[in-house]
Structure 1
């Protein structure tokens, strides 16, 4: 046998035993007539001591970093113990060794503080995976997987596989397509999700289904996106929204407990989509801290429960506010001592192209009760005090105000809030806060296409009270500015998102399960009967054979792992990820195929411009 123990296993209780270990050489340290070697495997590191006799043998058979070796020897207590590793109390007095395989000099150091950049490490990902930091990420991923499976199994869910080669259907992103050699000119698509299959399983009577499944979307990438990603995909029959929320709160709380040893006992907060948008500026708010948005000037209308307090800023002849569609403020706690340099830096931050604002107005709420503003030429101290109080600011706080077009200003203020939350230490990696966001709009207006589209997907049911409002698609709407007047704008989806620390980790809905309503939904999206039958005839047909009420949810597995692991990028938790261009630099994929394959597929490549 190559080994009797792993390199993370031996303790003082094993002292005196003769053992055999195998692994990779981490470091070699020569001290006169003896040599110390750190031997590594996925379980840990063990120090080896090569005495005088073997040290001479090492001169003819030198060991290098990442050599694979096998050693035998006695476990002995170390004189210079290392409290930083579990095996730090012992070492192996090596009696013999074998070099199983030599290694070329690695392109970067294989240790936590490596000198390898992202591109180099991705090119040699099989070496990067040896690093302790990466190993811990994959161990966490496995722990989340195991906890999810155990919970769902105990709740009566079945793991049922669904196909990867399917028909292209509209689900909001571009499909990856696969040509069929046996059906020339026809193509499979890789699934963006198993959505229609899991609904068909509900029709088939498998009332609790799940998969931890690969999904594929051909869309622009960023830190938390990959062309292929993993979901915890779930569906239940004979349920209402409350059943889904309770079931999957339980799933996430179980993952917290099993993986992070956190007993999440507090009630998960719930808020509507509208409340999230107007209180935090986005539909996945980070509620670990306050700094809620205060809308000083709504864009032409007010929302239920929200007072238009535009009188606080009107009448001052301050064109920045007077000519803006909306004015939004936040109060940064304890920041009134910011210097001119610091407020100028924040102003430059909001002017960046990715934020897109023209400037920033501030009000300092000084500890002595006075108020100082970059706009105090236009506003009296009494008025500044009233504005500050409207935002909830207290003595010592700094009020920051942005003005401009509604959507851009809201997004910019939301980003500013998150940036300040990070700078002020309110967004801690070891603090977790869950939230349900409910009552999303069922439709959103596509200005470019001049039509209404499903905000989630076309299988999402409207709220029961809004079903009667469903009407045929009206192409006469001239632009998005008119959409609030249209009946579609008031239709709410029976949908829900779970948010963790400002990240959407799961989303789902109660589904449409009656053919008539599903046809009505398709028609509202501009599909005629022929198109409905061509794309979704199988689903509409299934609904005629006793489809039960059902609903479900899908969790972004990679994203959940990255949040639990304290990383902003899901790539850190995927064994072989793609880069930001969707390339696998290790395999050099995607790559060209030879002409023979094109001939077999009866496809001719015609690149534009060539």
Structure 2
């Protein structure tokens, strides 16, 4: 039984390629095998659902198809039943790869009939089973946390669910199971995991969806090393069993400051070089005002060496400069190293000794291109970080068959939000500060480092976690530093603060974007490919046309009135 993938009529003999999840087989019908099945086959079209009965036999010599797993056999059909017909197709599943994505999502059930889709979701199933088996053997319990909880607006916007029973009050769909998994540790379960459904009302990108699956872990009586070691072992087992890829353990570590200073990103892609170098000490007293002036104002000059790029045309250099300016830099300085010397608009403004020292510091040689940004440190590093990725793409430096992991640690605990005019948690307000930085919490809060860690794969943040705060006094201090008044903290988090009073153990955990992990493992471009029924980048479901209006009766039951569109915009 299965779907008709293709129908061919060869001079009175009809061939049907019948497909199900396991593969495709050729079905043969001729007048000799019986009139009724052959007559029925005349009306069969693509994606009809059939049941056939017949003899499995070898194909005649010379007609074998080495491109098919069943290419040496066929089914000589004696019975054929049409279980269901199919309308004219908006596209054929076999041709879906070249079809506009919006059309594929509108008819997602046809798109999912592709062998590629079946492979993806078979791999997703296998990955989940591997993870479950691994964690179960390590003493973890799989537990569920609520889908309907209270809104705690810290970070992305919540999806709100109105309560019919309590008019004017709302549940929120969870952005993560954060507080509940910590409460499970307080309850004494010690090791928990969950494939948690999470919801965030935020702007979408290729690796984001409004609803997604998170592999969530939490452990008691552990430190950062314990969680990182278990994570590495889990990923090694997953890559070995699913892809037959052996990962090298342990993964390297970089602090947040090292990552930003060397790669201009807290999620660096280490599949290629192009590291940044700080040359401020060489240019502090330079006659070139662009460099010296920036350094005297507290800025830096940082650069990257691009091996073999001395042949870049002026057009390409101008394009790179425009990009740097668009990203926030004042400009981009370039030096081309050739056998006959150095070529740059700035050569006339600098002493030969300065240029020589610059080349030495950058380890430059003939055929290289040196690029520099002079600006405030954050701007210089972020611009060069983006430029680094742009150059890697242009020069084809990225090996897509390579998996490069790295841990990023020692993040800032807090950062200042210009829009809110207050400090906010970089990860979340339940992350523990480093013990040695606690004395700075009130006096110099932006210098406090977090006991947080992100795991990065090929320049993509795969997951993140932290050691949590397990004492009420420290949790209340953090709330105070981020401007959460005691009354407000009690109103939003009173249940959690109370739980901390009843013997909360030291604990920590990590969460992975499960969809994102599969996207990277299977070398796909978007997490929509690993989600059976994804939303578009406008957070809509083209299959069901959701979101959609509801009838007035439903709104009345929820004590909700919708404003006209013009008022909503105002």
TM range (shorter): over 0.9
Rounded Cα–Cα distance in structure 2 between residues aligned with 1:550 and 1:335: 49
Q: Contact 1:372/1:381 (CA < 8 Å) preserved in 2? A: no
Residue 293 of structure 1 contacts residue 391 of structure 1 at CA under 8 Å; is this kept in 2? no
Pick one of 51, 56, 62 that aligns with 1:70: 51
Say if 2:70 is the partner of 1:97: no
The 1-side partners of 2:20 and 2:538 are apart by: 32
1:144-177 deviation digits (Å, cap 9, x = unpaired):
2112111111110000101010011133111111
Q: Is the 8 A contact 2:236 2:247 kept in 1?
A: yes
Distance 1:321 1:584 in 2: 53
* 2:168 paired residue number: 185
Q: Find the aligned partners of 2:173 and 2:133 in 1 and give their Cα distance.
A: 28
Give 3-state SS (helix, strand or coil) of 2:5's partner.
Answer: strand
Matched, 1:39 2:33: no
| CA displacement, residues 454-500 of structure 1 (integer Å, 9 cap, x when unaligned) | 111110000111122222xxxxxxxxxxxxxx611210001111111
Q: Measured at CA, do residues 397 and 409 of structure 1 come closer, stay the same or move farther in structure 2, by a change above 3 Å? A: same
Q: Is the Cα–Cα contact under 8 Å of residues 112 and 133 in structure 1 kept in the other structure?
A: no
Aligned residue number for residue 598 of structure 1 = 555
For 2:177 and 2:374, the matched residues in 1 are separated by: 43
Distance 1:54 1:345, change over 3 A: farther
Rounded to whole Å, the distance in 1 between the matches of 2:291 and 2:361 is: 21
- Structure 2 equivalent of residue 524 of structure 1: 481
In the alignment, structure 1 segments of 5+ residues that lack a partner are 1-21, 298-307, 472-485
Mapped to 2, the partners of 1:559 and 1:403 lie a distance apart of 35
Match of 2:225 among 242, 261, 286: 242
User: What residue in structure 2 maps to residue 469 of structure 1?
Assistant: 440
Q: 1:279·1:293 contact (CA, 8 Å) conserved in 2?
A: yes
Distance 1:319 1:458, change over 3 A: closer
The one of 400, 412, 427 equivalent to 2:398 is 427
The two structures, once aligned, show a CA RMSD in angstroms of 2.2
- Alignment match, 2:253: 270
Partner Cα distance (1:39, 1:60) in 2: 12
Q: CA deviation at 1:536?
A: 0.9
Report the more deviating stretch, 430-439 or 372-381: 372-381
Matched with 2:520 is 563
Which residue of 273, 279, 303 corresponds with 1:329?
A: 303
Q: Does 1:365 align with 2:348?
A: no
1:376 to 338, 341, 347: 347
Task: Rate the CA distance shift 1:114–1:223 in 2: closer, same or farther, 3 A.
Answer: closer
Q: Distance in 1 between matches of 2:539 and 2:292?
A: 42
In the alignment, is the contact (CA less than 8 A) between 1:363 and 1:384 conserved in 2?
no
Cα distance between partner residues in 2 of 1:503 and 1:45? 37
CA deviation after TM superposition for structure 1 residue 84, in Å: 2.5
Cα separation, 2, equivalents of 1:551 and 1:278: 28
More divergent stretch after superposition (89-98 vs 157-166): 89-98
Give the structure with the higher percent helix: 2
SS at match of 2:209: coil
Compute the displacement of 1:597 (Å).
0.7
Question: Aligned equivalents of 1:497 and 1:393: distance in 2?
Answer: 33
Return the alpha-carbon distance in structure 1 between the equivalents of residues 41 and 493 of structure 2.
71
Q: Quote how far apart the aligned CAs of 1:113 are.
A: 5.6
**Number of the residue aligned with 1:7:** none
Q: How does 1:280-295 map to 2 (within 5 A)?
A: 280-295=263-278
SS at match of 1:111: helix
Gaps of 5+ in 2: none
Alpha-carbon distance in 1 for matches of 2:563, 2:118: 44
TM-score (norm 1): 0.87
- 1:155 and 1:414, CA in 2 relative to 1: closer, same or farther beyond 3 A? same
Aligned equivalent of 1:507, options 454, 457, 464: 464
User: 2:111 maps to what in 1?
Assistant: 128
Deviates more, 1:220-229 or 1:26-35: 26-35
How far does the alpha carbon of each residue in 1:298-348 deviate from its partner, in whole angstroms, 9 at most, with x for none? xxxxxxxxxx44338x21245797599443321122222233344344345
Cα offset, 1:31, TM superposition: 1.9
Q: Distance in 1 between matches of 2:471 and 2:291?
A: 54
Task: Give the match for residue 509 of structure 2.
Answer: 552
Name the structure 1 match of 2:123: 140
Aligned equivalent of 1:205: 188
